[in-house]
């Protein structure tokens, strides 16, 4: 997709809605209740892995009632390739000393699990007071490492998905739902 793509071509690439906006918002509220129950008034640090998790992070943050700080990280493992190298480089790190925090990672999707598994190792080595991982989407059929989130809102089949922060070529992050991307659309 290029910058001169027509709205018709853009819309043709949305194959079908898999998870509606209402289903997402209901699941986010339930996840926030679980976080509140786990931490029971104890302050937390929500860490979003950019860019895909920013919409999910915003909604979780709006729905938790425990005192909350936020932070953002970016990491890459693709290095000019379409397949993950398995090596993770933190390209934007958090500033907080994690020894003072109960950490909750907010992730958009766990696919192979490689990148998130490495990020978790890096952050756990910083000795947070406690640590949980919450993912919006889990795609276990693609897992190549032994990793699972503490809370997964939705399990999906092996589709390339867009919306609610997830993109294809930086487009579609603004969709309020999760959709299957139509790779065959012209």
| Residue (of 139, 116, 112, 171) closest to 18 by Cα position | 139
The DSSP string of 76-108 is: E--SSSSS--S--EEEE---S-GGG-EEEEEEE
Query: Burial, 121: exposed, middle or buried (Cβ in 10 Å; 0-12, 13-18, 19+)?
Result: exposed
Catalytic residues: 111
CA angle 65, 93, 147 (to 5 degrees): 70
**Residue 177: half-sphere exposure toward Cβ, Cα within 13 Å:** 13
| Residue (of 132, 50, 140) closest to 94 by Cα position | 50
Look at the chain and count its residues: 186
């Amino acid at each position: 997709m290029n910058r001169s793509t027509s709205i018709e071509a853009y819309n043709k690439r949305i194959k079908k809605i898999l998870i509606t906006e209402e289903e997402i918002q209901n699941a986010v509220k339930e996840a926030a209740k679980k976080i509140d129950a786990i931490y029971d008034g104890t302050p937390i640090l929500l860490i979003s892995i950019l860019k895909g998790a920013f919409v999910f992070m915003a909604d979780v943050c709006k729905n938790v009632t425990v005192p909350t700080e936020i932070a953002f990280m970016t990491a890459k493992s693709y290095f000019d390739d379409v397949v993950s190298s398995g090596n993770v480089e933190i390209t934007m790190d958090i500033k907080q000393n994690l020894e003072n925090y109960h950490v909750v990672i907010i992730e958009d999707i766990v696919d192979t699990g490689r990148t998130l598994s490495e990020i978790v190792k890096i952050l756990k080595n910083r000795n947070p007071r406690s640590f949980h991982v919450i993912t919006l989407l889990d795609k276990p059929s693609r897992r190549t490492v032994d990793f699972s989130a503490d809370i997964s809102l939705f399990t999906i089949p092996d589709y390339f998905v867009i919306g609610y922060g997830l993109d294809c070529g930086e487009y579609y992050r603004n969709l309020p739902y999760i959709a299957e991307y139509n790779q065959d659309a012209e």
